[in-house]
């Protein structure tokens, strides 16, 4: 299995930002144009781009969808997007507009019929975002914590057709403390599906450690702050990953 590095572009108020542990009050702005930043990552060799509509996650519906669709239209590399996708018409808009993969988060817990419908219709164009706090799934842009564990949710959704999961340990997100590799690998082994790691990557070694578990189903990592602070250089990281996987 390949191991893909997904540069993250989190969009809030039309700008590229990063939050610390999902806290909307702890925001750092990294650029005024998410489109230009996406082009930069693509030029550096990114194989995918990961987009999050932070305003959408909070509002429960896409807010920065015009920016997302512009990125999907102008880039030659595939993009995946999450944030506020809780209606079929919004999913359809993104897929029709060139988005390669949509990410369901809150809806995956709260709206089983909708989630099943999306998985049935779009299959491998769907990823389930599992954002966990102390092992339990968080929803509504990480503002609420459920009573469902990450593995319970994943196994229930596999029965509905889910094949790709994005696992975020909220306690590590934006902290540069390193990913929760143990939890990521455990989820991949428990499900037998493609699990993309998110949160905490701070250096190339973190990526190399995760890439060693590609055979177990760890299919990539989403990297945000480490790229923006230049702790990770994308071209160099891609080269080293290629030597491991």
Query: Known catalytic residues?
Result: 10, 131
- CA-wise closest residue to 227 among 18, 67, 12: 18
Burial class (CB in 10 A: 0-12, 13-18, 19+), 71: buried
Which of 178, 174, 179, 167 has the alpha carbon at shortest distance from 229? 174
Q: How many residues make up the chain in this entry?
A: 245
Cα separation, 162 vs 73, in Å, equals 26
> CB of 21 within 8 A of CB of 174?
yes
Pairing status of strand 126-133 against strand 136-139: antiparallel
Distance CA 24, CA 73 (A): 28
The first and second tokens of residue 164, run together, are 């790709």
Q: What are phi and psi of 165, to 5 degrees?
A: -125, 145
């Amino acid at each position: 299995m390949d191991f893909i590095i997904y540069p993250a572009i989190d969009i809030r108020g039309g700008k590229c930002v990063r939050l610390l542990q999902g806290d909307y009050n702890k925001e750092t702005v990294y650029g005024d144009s998410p489109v230009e930043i996406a082009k930069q990552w693509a030029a550096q060799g990114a194989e995918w781009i990961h987009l999050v509509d932070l305003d959408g996650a909070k509002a429960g519906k896409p807010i920065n969808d015009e920016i997302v669709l512009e990125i999907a239209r102008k880039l030659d590399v595939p993009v995946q997007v999450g944030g506020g996708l809780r209606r079929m018409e919004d999913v359809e808009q993104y897929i029709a507009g060139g988005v390669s993969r949509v990410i369901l988060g809150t809806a995956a817990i709260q709206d089983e019929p909708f989630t099943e419908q999306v998985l049935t219709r779009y299959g491998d164009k769907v990823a389930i975002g599992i954002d966990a706090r102390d092992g339990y799934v968080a929803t509504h842009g990480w503002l609420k914590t459920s009573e469902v564990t990450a593995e319970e949710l994943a196994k229930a959704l596999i029965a509905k057709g889910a094949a790709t999961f994005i696992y975020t340990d909220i306690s590590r997100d934006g902290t540069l403390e390193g990913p929760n590799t143990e939890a990521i690998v455990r989820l991949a082994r428990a499900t037998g599906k493609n699990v993309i790691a998110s949160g905490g990557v701070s250096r190339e070694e973190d990526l190399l450690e995760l890439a060693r578990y590609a055979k177990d189903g760890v299919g990539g990592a989403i990297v945000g702050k480490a790229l923006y602070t230049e702790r990770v250089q994308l071209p160099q990281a891609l080269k080293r990953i290629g030597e491991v996987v």
